[in-house]
Amino acid sequence: MKTASMAASLLIPLCLCILLLRGASAVSDQQEAGRRDSCDRIDRRIRALEPTRRVDSEAGHTELYDDRDGQLPCAGVAAARITIQRNGLLLPSYSNSPRLAYIVHGRGIVGVVIPGCPETYQETSSSSSQEQEDDERRRRGRRGDEERRRSSEGEEEEEEETSRRSFEQSIRDEHQRITTVRQGDVVAIPAGAPFWVHNDGDSPLVAISVHDVSNSANQLDQTSRRFRLAGGQARSEGRQRYGEGESSESETERGGEESYNILSGFDTELLAESMRVSPDIARKLQGRSDKRGNIVRVRRGGLRMLRPATERVTDEEMMRGANAAAAAGNGIDEAVCLMKLRENVADPMKADLYTPNGGRITVLNSQKLPVLKLIKMSVNRGVMRRNAILAPHWNINAHAAVYATSGSARLQVVSSEGRRVFDGELRRGQMVVVPQSFAVAGRAGDEGFAWVSFQTSDGAMNAPVVGKSSALRGMPADVLANAFGVSREEARMVKFGRGQELAIFSPKSGAAARRRRSPGHRDDGVLAAPA
């Protein structure tokens, strides 16, 4: 009887585990089935995407890219364009998925808080360090005298409160590192890391943000959820559904419904006690009566924060951050706390591929920006001159969400069946997804073309069809002659027709001459139009 009881007690937890695993597997299978369905649809047609839903705030707005034919869900990404007006502040929030943001226009300040990392920017009171040491010595002396007289629990609590106030008086403020950003910068934001953005420039700050919702860091469904730490009500306008019914904003912001920050969901008294503030302050934090939205205007006088003369991590800051992280004992590697989160890809001198009459491409992967190893995404930025040709190629190990930052281009995307699933113009502000292994080629318009491509691998690679280091260049001429049914001489023309050009090809000589005579032409490899 005792043996049977023990067997039953062991079987119950085992059965529960099996049920939980089956449930989790079922959810995963449903998500995978939905993604397969989306990818099946893009085998038939791809289109250029425009923002279809907008969330307005006091000092800016967020535009969401909808997808009715499955492009973004197939690639496992969600996209949004954020505009912050002058002196606007994008309120702190975090997401269930990592993201990369490209600064299309303007400049500002970004703060990304890595949970578990120390606050290495610290502002103390105006007194000298010697005075602080003397004050601390006197406080210790008084504490020793008081401890000898202390006999009640109430006195201990009073001492604790005195010590806390003394600390607050000596530390005016402290926070983690902040980063200045400008046009052409790429910023990496890990999943679950709160961040905020302030526009301290003279013009609107515009950024295109792409979330990798298929990343392993996201344990929810393939929806990018935004968890706001501050702010009041937010309302959305435009079409209600995203893809098959999911939105790239939080669930409660769909279809114009009201949403609030996460603190508003807690009991006010519990929140007040946990923060050691009054209930009135707690109610302000919950923001139930705040109508400003997600982007607010900073009060007159601007933001006060600690900003070093240079953004390079000094030896002193490195040691302070390393020592603080080690002392915290929270398992956070100090290298993560001090990891660089920003890199500029607009500088022509940083180009990885360059064709004088064609254009340039800059690659940003985890070898250049190690934090991308955690994000598991990368970025390519390209600039093409008027009528230049984007060489036919395919992405080997990643999907690509291509966003046009200026100009226009006619792109063609071809599926595994040889079907042209996209053949159209991609204009400034539009986005198109190029799935893994689908072939793509294009030609820049009369104003040239500039783009940024968000890729779902930190080491994304592509394979050109023709040109230097291409698939056809790597095959013997006789193999090409027999494969295409052409002469050996024609096969050599196919192999070497583009000479040493790679990735971006120059247009025909007539088109190049016309471009050189055009008033907007510049010979520095940069578009005359803003990129």
pLDDT at 449: 98
Cβ distance 438 to 414 under 8 Å? Answer: yes
Q: Where a domain ends, among 171, 203, 238?
A: 171
431 and 376 share a domain?
yes
Please indicate, yes or no, if residue 518 is contained in any of the structural domains: yes
* Amino acid at site 458: D
Are residue 167 and residue 183 in the same domain, yes or no? no
Which pLDDT value is given to residue 352? Answer: 96
Examine the domain organization and report whether 156 and 180 are in the same domain. no
Distances (CA, A) of 387 to 213, 384, 517: 35, 8, 14
19 in any annotated domain:
yes
The H-or-E segment that residue 394 falls in is strand 389-395
What pLDDT, on the 0 to 100 scale, is given for residue 174?
83
pLDDT of residue 94: 94
Domain assignment present for residue 254? The answer is yes
- The answer to whether residues 302 and 362 belong to one domain is no
User: Does 415 share its domain with 318?
Assistant: no
Length of the chain measured in residues: 531
Flag whether 485 is in a domain. Answer: no
The pLDDT of residue 204:
97
476, part of any domain: no
pLDDT of residue 477: 95
State which residues form the domain around 143. Answer: 126-171
Output the domain CATH number for residue 410.
2.60.120.10
Whether residue 370 is contained in a domain is answered as yes
Q: Is 350 exposed, middle or buried (0-12, 13-18, 19+ CB in 10 A)?
A: middle
Write down the residue that tokens 């660089």 correspond to. 340
* φ, ψ of residue 309 in degrees (nearest 5): -70, -30
Task: Measure Cα distances from 89 to 175, 297, 304, 370 in Å.
Answer: 17, 6, 13, 28
For residue 45, with 0-12 CB atoms within 10 Å meaning exposed, 13-18 middle and 19 or more buried, which class applies? middle
Q: What pLDDT is stored for residue 84 in this prediction?
A: 97
> What is the spatial distance between Cα 237 and Cα 61, in angstroms, rounded to a whole number?
11
Q: Are residues 318 and 419 in the same domain?
A: no
What pLDDT score was predicted for residue 136?
Answer: 55
CB-side exposure of 191: number of CA atoms within 13 Å?
Answer: 21
Report yes or no on whether pTM surpasses 0.75. Answer: yes
d(CA 524, CA 449): 15
Q: d(Cα 366, Cα 351) in Å, to the nearest integer?
A: 16
Between CA 104 and CA 110 the distance in angstroms is: 15
Last residue of a domain, one of 304, 337, 370: 337
Per DSSP, the residues of 10-48 read: HHHHHHHHHHHHHHHHHHHHHHHHHHHHHHHHHTT----
The answer to whether position 98 is within a domain reads yes
Question: Does 103 fall in a domain?
Answer: yes
- The answer to whether residues 187 and 341 touch, using CB atoms and an 8 Å cutoff, is yes
Is there a single domain that holds both residue 298 and residue 322?
yes
Tokens at 143, concatenated: 């504490």
Helix axes 477-484, 488-496, angle to 10 degrees: 110
Decide which of 278, 311, 337 is a domain's last residue: 337
What pLDDT is attached to residue 137?
Answer: 57
- One domain, residues 54 and 181: yes
- The tally of domains found in the chain comes to 3
- Return the pLDDT at 170: 58
165 and 196 co-located in one domain: no
For residue 78, count CB atoms less than 10 angstroms from its CB and return exposed for 0-12, middle for 13-18, buried for 19 or more.
buried
Same domain, yes or no, for 236 and 300? yes
Mean pLDDT per 10-residue section of the chain, whose length is 531 residues: 51 47 46 58 80 92 82 92 96 95 97 86 56 53 57 56 57 82 96 94 96 91 88 60 38 50 93 94 91 90 71 50 47 70 95 94 96 95 97 95 97 94 96 95 97 96 93 95 95 92 84 44 40 45
Q: Do 151 and 48 belong together in one domain?
A: no
Q: How far is CA 187 from CA 14, 63, 178, 271, 404, in A?
A: 45, 19, 12, 32, 18
- Pair 458, 411 in one domain: yes
What does the alpha-carbon distance between residue 419 and residue 436 come to, in Å, rounded to a whole number?
A: 15
Give the pLDDT of residue 531.
45
